[in-house]
Structure 1
Amino acid sequence: MFRRLLASAAALVVAAAAIVFIDRAADAAAASVSITATQASNGTTTLTYRATVLKAGAIREVTMAIPAGTTGRVTSINGTVSSVTRTVLRWRPTRVTNVAVGARLAIPLYGLKLPAGGPWTLGFKSIGTAGQVITSGAGVLQPLKTYTAAVAVKATNPIPAQTTNLTYQATVTKAGTLAAVRMQLPTGATGTYSTINGTLTVDAGYATWKPKSPLNVATGARLAIPVNGVQLSRYGGTMSLTVSATTPTGTVLSTGAATIAFIAPPAEMPVLAAAGFASPPAGCPDTWPTTSAENAKPGTGDWVIPTSMNGTLAAYLTQVSASCGDSVDLKVTSGNPVSVVAYRMGYYAGLGAREIWRQDDVPTVLQEAPTTGGASADGKPLRMTSAATWSKTLSIPVDKNWVPGTYLIKISDGTSATYAPLTVRDDTGTKHALMIQQATATWQAYNSYGGVSFYTGLDTGSGRLTFDRPYNEGQGSGQYLTLEQGLVFWAESKGLDVTYWTDNDLDQYGGQLPTRAGTLFLPGHDEYYSLRMRAALSQAIAHGVNVANLGANTAYRVITFTDETRRAWDIDRYTDGYNSTTWRYQGDAYASQPLLGADYICPVLGNTLTTGSGWIFDGVPNGTALPGFIAGEVDYVWPDLYKQPGLTTLAAGTGACRSNGRAAPMHVTAYTAPSGARVLNGSTFAYGCFLVGRCPSNWTVPSPDAASQKAVATIVANITQWVSRGTIAVPADTTAAKIRVTVPKHPLQTNTQP
């Protein structure tokens, strides 16, 4: 009988080969040849050939076929191995070995590296010392079964800011004694952790599980280690988490990583009451003229302030918005008599405005300089610049002549002039097809008149901003002329059923939004949102109000109005600097993308958008270049933030980040909410300024030519018709509306933070 002795010290190097050993058929079935493969600890394969002895005798040699392409350094036991051909090896015993009929031979070959493929039919033959065939046949070698770690991590509740149980799974790739499993925890996770069948320790972002006693595990065994009570960070994303299983000596039995997504759905918002409408005050109408009827009235270009009249004269109103029956106070610093003229902004045959009210020879004083200071209740410096102590110059009655719309109050002493903006709401309870919002909170954030803005002054900027001072941008209009007049001009040129309100109104009357309008347009730069503003927008979408955000960087920073007057708002820049001022700092659930479809990435100076073939570009030839349309600031779809079901990208381009010059993707997105509301995110500032062919003077953007203006007007019309579900029919025309007066271009302050 064949006995195992000491292994031979000789080794045979096997090279790749292409010849297959062919065994003769005689007595093959009776030989019962079998060939098995096992994986060695060094990664090579051991083949064991077994066969039944058919004829007694002393073994002289055994020849065995190996798969073509096999390599390695081959050894065996109780004999030496040599090569007959590239696919046949010969084993010779180191001493006389007699075998009887029926005995079972077992010849191991160590150190082989098998090729891919299989199974293989391989011959086996044993020859006796007298030259007789002791046994002969063929066996089938199945490919070696190998295992990968196949790591997986599963979560019972993969929602950021919530508690979940994680199960880490891995396949053993090397047999041994399991002593520990080290598992990477999600970034920022905390909690009171627990597990089963072992102990758990947590350190430096890893949890290590140890069994109650060492476990012997075979290759292919599947590990499943629970880590319970994991409190996920409020910031999620797609994370790659590693798993490693080791022996008491540190030998790795399995190692790998798995990807798991922790994606936050939109944050729940407080419910806002939908208050009713009061009856119109005495002398105010129940209904207002249509947009077409209003714009058929004579317009004027006298509203324009030439840059030659820029000076120190400044003014502000004591209300951001008003409605018929209100009285608004005006405060002016000049010292000279002034004329005060109210202009309703619109189309008016291309002149852009109509004079509504005026008062001439109004006496003024030179007001004291604004003051900067103040502290929060907990002693934080607010650095608020205010001109609240200015004396009133006059009161302006908002009566039946003030058709709801956006207004610029022009104050002029004949040498210098300025604007004070006002929005007049329609508070009759009439539901309009379209509402355009004015980004008043954002205008104020960038306002540095007399001292400090959110971004500039006293090194770190302010923590409280007030409307009790003039705007230093846009000749006193804030960001209205640079970014928002274009939407007003376009909508009124088309005769759309449009109404208006402000950020402040969204905070105060947000619960009424579904009863005020079917579709809401957000302007180019509507960055600063209170909780009530965000709740109102979210609630409106849930109630079927369509939203077209014709801008970017929307609802990015979180503010709190200080009281019911909404004359000032606070922003938390103390917790974590610029980070803590953002909605996303509250957690991924509060990012803009879950609400609107895309999220802010960075400021850009101006890059070209090339049109495509989707519905948004209907009427614009495919491949049309719009130089400078990717401008101001841009949004894109972040892969690790929540995406609304059915979210699609309608247009895409690339801008260059102003802060570092790196490429920034821009995505125009759209989705339909469960309510049926359609939501579009325009992802660039440029819509409004292209509609009037006048973009900010400090953008590296060419003045939009007639072709670009017409293309963007067509795009905005397509957006309007899609987002309104066809309820707003935009009249077709062959040329974009032209503004007939020369309006100065103004620089625009934008966020320089990434």
Structure 2
Amino acid sequence: MSDFDRREALGLFATSAAAGLSGTSTAAASPRSSDRIRLENEKPGTSDWQLTYTKFDGAAKFRQSLIEGYCDRMSVMAGETLSVQVSTREPTPVSLEIYRLGYYQGLGGRHLLTIGPKPGKPQPTPPVGPMRLRECRWEPTFQVAIPKDWPSGVYLGKLTATKHRYQSYVIFIVKDDRPCDFLFQCSTNTWQAYNKWPENHSLYDNDRTDRKPLVSGVRASFDRPFAKYPQVVDNPQSLGSGEFLLFEYPFAYWIEQNGYDVSYCSNEDVAVGGAEFITRAKTFLSIGHDEYWARPQYDACMKAVQAGVNFGFFSGNAVCFVTKLMPSSEGRANRIIERVGRYGGVQHAEEPWMADLPEHGPNEALLMGARTVIPFNGSGDWICTKPEHWLFAGTGMKAGDRIPGLVGWEHHGNPAEIPGLEIVAEGSTWNSGEQESHYTATIYPGPKGNTIFNAATIFWAQALSSPPGHWVPYVHFGKSHGVDRRVQKMTSNLFDRWKASDSRS
């Protein structure tokens, strides 16, 4: 740990103590309903939320211009109004069906609302702006008043054109401010960072002659549809839904199947809401591919750890890039993102891919216990190293036992020098270039009896459940074997301990 990182940690801990996080928040005054998600999932479900017909453009191969749309916000409170902008290649009536995703008797979703048909029309593909920004200014097609009884969750809007059979999604989160056991942060910044809509306009596409993909000076707007996800898993269901169905949905499905008390939010909600937004929960969850974090988001989470909140990083490549949140050209807050720095600074081995990232963030391992390592992608088995730890109770795992293919495609290693930190699994990964890397899954104690777990893989969710519409990814000649009872048991060991604890100040 560098002197800079030690100073950062001490400074954040001191700030946490001085901030008085025990003060009353809006959430503390809200009524608690720990059975809300369990009761919600007893309502009738349907598998009709899935897209049936998709078709992609020829040149812009990740886009479907026949029908596409986006929401004016990634998250809303119940009682607020959401605007949905839709474009169709030719004029046609368009309908919007809204579903909440969950377990719902194994069907994965519940139908809540149908709006339309309403007139759909072509809306302009925006020109390339400064820093390769593609920012739509489409007219609203639907205004959705979110009913006050809609629970927090991830919601899909299925768009369907009357004149042809093709469909696509829009996606949004209904958030709340109530006390809860688990706060599930969706990796919305990362969804947008990898969004290539309309052609090649993600944060990874630039005009540099050296072709380095991880640089500053490139921006991405939330005011555009989500194209089909471009790597690792070729699932048409990602059209309009970001990365949620690919890397996060199996975890949400498992949580709701087991009746845990969970609330959902976006990356932006944490950055804006600060530590009080987190401390209403006993446990904070980072799931899947959670790469892009604004600095206020990191600071809020560090303060929440010091306040006694448990953390579960069931993710890989998490908290990697310092992300700047900026308003849209029309002044709406936090609608544009830019990669401006590397947490912990650019390592020498990362320089072939990264350049001119001016902002230095603290080492992410100070929060998570371990961090993104080089090589940063690959696949491998998750290998038990500490079978006597309570994490493994009831799994039957012994030292050296493996969970095949669970590590991928990006992972964490290089554990931090945190008192009491334990490595519970570690091993090697290999990528398609036959480069070897090393991952470490860690757990460490917080200052108030809380615990911080780092699974060190994006693919943890793949072993929890296989809901409708989900495809298991295959990458670098490695593949998760899907649902594994040992992963389910380790996760329930963590969740049950976290649920029973309440060490928050």
Corresponding residue number in structure 2 for 1:552: 316
Given that 2:47 and 2:107 are in contact with CA atoms closer than 8 Å, whether structure 1 keeps it comes out as yes
Per-residue deviation, 1:492: 0.3
Q: Structure 1, residues 669-717: CA drift from partner, whole Å, max 9, x if none?
A: 0111223221111110011222233423556444635xx4323222221
Letter in 1 for 2:285: F
5+ residue gaps, structure 2? 57-63, 230-237
Q: Structure 1, residues 470-510: CA drift from partner, whole Å, max 9, x if none?
A: 11121111110111101110000000011111101001112
The secondary structure found in structure 2 opposite 1:386 is coil
Rounded to whole Å, the distance in 1 between the matches of 2:366 and 2:27 is 35
Corresponding residue number in structure 2 for 1:29: none
1:117-156 alignment runs, 5 A limit: none
Given that 2:473 and 2:480 are in contact with CA atoms closer than 8 Å, whether structure 1 keeps it comes out as no
Rounded to whole Å, the distance in 1 between the matches of 2:300 and 2:445 is 18
Q: 2:193 aligns with which of 437, 445, 452?
A: 445
The secondary structure found in structure 1 opposite 2:408 is strand
1:503-582 alignment runs, 5 A limit: 503-563=267-327, 565-572=333-340, 579=354
Closer/same/farther in 2, CA of residues 724 and 531 from structure 1, 3 Å limit: same
Q: Structure 1, residues 447-485: CA drift from partner, whole Å, max 9, x if none?
A: 111141111243466522211111112111111011110
Given that 2:28 and 2:280 are in contact with CA atoms closer than 8 Å, whether structure 1 keeps it comes out as no
Corresponding residue number in structure 2 for 1:410: 158
Rounded to whole Å, the distance in 2 between the matches of 1:506 and 1:688 is 22
Letter in 1 for 2:423: T
- Tell me the TM-score normalised to structure 2 length: 0.81
- Tell me the TM-score normalised to structure 1 length: 0.55
Quick check: 1:325 aligned with 2:325?
A: no
Rounded to whole Å, the distance in 1 between the matches of 2:438 and 2:337 is 32
Rounded to whole Å, the distance in 1 between the matches of 2:418 and 2:501 is 22
Corresponding residue number in structure 2 for 1:467: 222
Quick check: 1:677 aligned with 2:455?
A: no
Given that 2:38 and 2:259 are in contact with CA atoms closer than 8 Å, whether structure 1 keeps it comes out as yes
Q: Structure 1, residues 189-208: CA drift from partner, whole Å, max 9, x if none?
A: xxxxxxxxxxxxxxxxxxxx
The secondary structure found in structure 2 opposite 1:512 is helix
Rounded to whole Å, the distance in 1 between the matches of 2:270 and 2:221 is 17
5+ residue gaps, structure 1? 1-157, 162-233, 235-262, 375-381, 729-754
Quick check: 1:710 aligned with 2:464?
A: no
Quick check: 1:338 aligned with 2:94?
A: yes
Q: Percent identity?
A: 25
Rounded to whole Å, the distance in 2 between the matches of 1:309 and 1:715 is 40
Rounded to whole Å, the distance in 2 between the matches of 1:366 and 1:502 is 30
Per-residue deviation, 1:611: 4.1
Given that 1:288 and 1:403 are in contact with CA atoms closer than 8 Å, whether structure 2 keeps it comes out as no
Q: Structure 1, residues 361-415: CA drift from partner, whole Å, max 9, x if none?
A: 12111111132222xxxxxxx221211x111111111112422111111112252
Rounded to whole Å, the distance in 2 between the matches of 1:278 and 1:676 is 23
Closer/same/farther in 2, CA of residues 698 and 476 from structure 1, 3 Å limit: farther
Given that 1:316 and 1:469 are in contact with CA atoms closer than 8 Å, whether structure 2 keeps it comes out as yes
1:253-272 alignment runs, 5 A limit: 266=9, 268-269=11-12
Q: 2:393 aligns with which of 618, 625, 628?
A: 618
Rounded to whole Å, the distance in 2 between the matches of 1:298 and 1:665 is 45
Letter in 1 for 2:381: T
Given that 1:404 and 1:426 are in contact with CA atoms closer than 8 Å, whether structure 2 keeps it comes out as yes
Q: Structure 1, residues 500-543: CA drift from partner, whole Å, max 9, x if none?
A: 11101001112323442111111111111112101110010010
1:602-613 alignment runs, 5 A limit: 602-611=375-384, 613=387
| Larger RCO (CA under 8 A, 6+ residues apart) | 2
Q: Structure 1, residues 188-245: CA drift from partner, whole Å, max 9, x if none?
A: xxxxxxxxxxxxxxxxxxxxxxxxxxxxxxxxxxxxxxxxxxxxxx8xxxxxxxxxxx
Corresponding residue number in structure 1 for 2:47: 301
Given that 1:652 and 1:666 are in contact with CA atoms closer than 8 Å, whether structure 2 keeps it comes out as yes
Closer/same/farther in 2, CA of residues 285 and 359 from structure 1, 3 Å limit: farther
Letter in 1 for 2:496: Q
Corresponding residue number in structure 2 for 1:632: 409
Closer/same/farther in 2, CA of residues 539 and 285 from structure 1, 3 Å limit: closer
The secondary structure found in structure 2 opposite 1:333 is strand
Quick check: 1:592 aligned with 2:364?
A: yes
Given that 1:523 and 1:551 are in contact with CA atoms closer than 8 Å, whether structure 2 keeps it comes out as yes
Quick check: 1:649 aligned with 2:423?
A: yes
The secondary structure found in structure 2 opposite 1:356 is strand
Closer/same/farther in 2, CA of residues 653 and 699 from structure 1, 3 Å limit: same
Letter in 2 for 1:453: S
Given that 2:430 and 2:476 are in contact with CA atoms closer than 8 Å, whether structure 1 keeps it comes out as no
Corresponding residue number in structure 2 for 1:455: 204
Letter in 1 for 2:157: I
Letter in 2 for 1:600: T
Greater shift, 298-307 or 492-501, is seen at 298-307
Given that 2:93 and 2:117 are in contact with CA atoms closer than 8 Å, whether structure 1 keeps it comes out as yes
Letter in 2 for 1:333: S
Q: Structure 1, residues 289-319: CA drift from partner, whole Å, max 9, x if none?
A: 6111100000000011146556432110001
Per-residue deviation, 1:610: 3.8
Letter in 2 for 1:266: A
Letter in 1 for 2:71: L
Based on CA coordinates, which of the two structures has the bigger radius of gyration? 1
Quick check: 1:433 aligned with 2:168?
A: no
Corresponding residue number in structure 2 for 1:493: 257
Aligned length in residues:
449
Rounded to whole Å, the distance in 2 between the matches of 1:661 and 1:264 is 38
Given that 2:284 and 2:309 are in contact with CA atoms closer than 8 Å, whether structure 1 keeps it comes out as yes
Letter in 2 for 1:386: E
Rounded to whole Å, the distance in 2 between the matches of 1:622 and 1:347 is 28
Letter in 1 for 2:152: P
Q: 1:363 aligns with which of 91, 97, 119?
A: 119
Given that 2:420 and 2:445 are in contact with CA atoms closer than 8 Å, whether structure 1 keeps it comes out as yes
Letter in 2 for 1:465: A
Per-residue deviation, 1:634: 0.8
Given that 2:462 and 2:480 are in contact with CA atoms closer than 8 Å, whether structure 1 keeps it comes out as no
Rounded to whole Å, the distance in 1 between the matches of 2:33 and 2:403 is 41
Closer/same/farther in 2, CA of residues 555 and 365 from structure 1, 3 Å limit: same
Corresponding residue number in structure 2 for 1:228: none
Given that 2:103 and 2:256 are in contact with CA atoms closer than 8 Å, whether structure 1 keeps it comes out as yes
The secondary structure found in structure 2 opposite 1:456 is coil
Closer/same/farther in 2, CA of residues 386 and 492 from structure 1, 3 Å limit: same
Q: 1:353 aligns with which of 106, 109, 134?
A: 109
Closer/same/farther in 2, CA of residues 357 and 581 from structure 1, 3 Å limit: farther
Rounded to whole Å, the distance in 2 between the matches of 1:556 and 1:518 is 24
Rounded to whole Å, the distance in 1 between the matches of 2:364 and 2:426 is 18
Given that 2:54 and 2:168 are in contact with CA atoms closer than 8 Å, whether structure 1 keeps it comes out as no
Q: RMSD value over aligned CA atoms?
A: 3.1
Given that 1:686 and 1:695 are in contact with CA atoms closer than 8 Å, whether structure 2 keeps it comes out as no
Q: 1:396 aligns with which of 144, 147, 159?
A: 144
